[in-house]
């Protein structure tokens, strides 16, 4: 009976070794880097890695700086904060383009993940601003321009969603053009 137990243990160890050799064939959790899958150590999620946090912080710092510069250059139209409106709409479009292109280029890993975190989460997260939209709406409403404030809030959400969809559609079409074999109609 001991020999059966030992044989069973050897089979379990051999199975573990076989599984460890074929780690690359396993499905990948999108929050875990493939390179970090090691049988001896559990992988850390992306949001717990300082290198990825740094990538997001760098993108966010640049995006926030660009937003501030544009908000100073684009003047408000009366009580309507045109600068923040333009920033949020262009940001929604650009985010749609970036995420759709990255999705079509392959799985969210390696350099594509770093680009998504740098541009999508970092830069676009810093560039666009929901909090300033909310403050602009509240300022317009409490400043006696309730119609402008409500219009600003509604048009920002509607136009932002439309711009995001348009960005996705534009990236999908651009990708289609780039993958159509030469000589075929586009």
Angle 151-70-146 from CA coordinates, rounded to 5°: 20
Pick from 59, 57, 54: nearest CA to 118: 59
Tokens 């904060």, residue located:
81
- Token digits of residue 9: 């243990």
Cα–chain-centroid distance for residue 165? 15
For CA atoms 172, 164, 106, 67, the dihedral sign is positive
Tell whether residue 125 is among the known ligand binding residues: yes
Radius of gyration, alpha carbons of the chain: 24
**What is the distance between the alpha carbons of residues 45 and 144, in angstroms, rounded to a whole number?**
48
Residues flagged as binding site: 125, 128
Binding residues for Na(+): 125, 128
């Amino acid at each position: 009976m001991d020999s059966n137990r030992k044989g069973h243990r050897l089979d379990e160890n051999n199975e573990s070794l076989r599984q460890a050799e074929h780690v690359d064939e396993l499905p990948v959790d999108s929050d875990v880097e493939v390179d970090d899958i090691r049988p001896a150590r559990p992988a850390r999620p992306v949001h717990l890695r300082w290198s990825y946090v740094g990538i997001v912080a760098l993108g966010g710092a640049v995006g926030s700086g660009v937003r501030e510069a544009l908000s100073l250059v684009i003047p408000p139209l009366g009580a309507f904060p045109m600068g923040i409106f333009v920033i949020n709409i262009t940001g929604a479009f650009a985010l749609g383009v970036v995420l759709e292109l990255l999705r079509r280029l392959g799985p969210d890993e390696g350099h594509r993940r770093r680009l998504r975190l740098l541009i999508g989460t970092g830069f676009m997260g810093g560039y666009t601003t929901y909090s300033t939209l909310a403050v602009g709406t509240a300022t317009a409403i409490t400043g006696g321009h309730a119609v402008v404030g409500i219009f600003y809030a509604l048009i920002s959400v509607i136009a932002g969603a439309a711009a995001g969809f348009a960005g996705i559609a534009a990236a999908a079409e651009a990708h289609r053009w780039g993958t159509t074999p030469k000589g075929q109609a586009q």
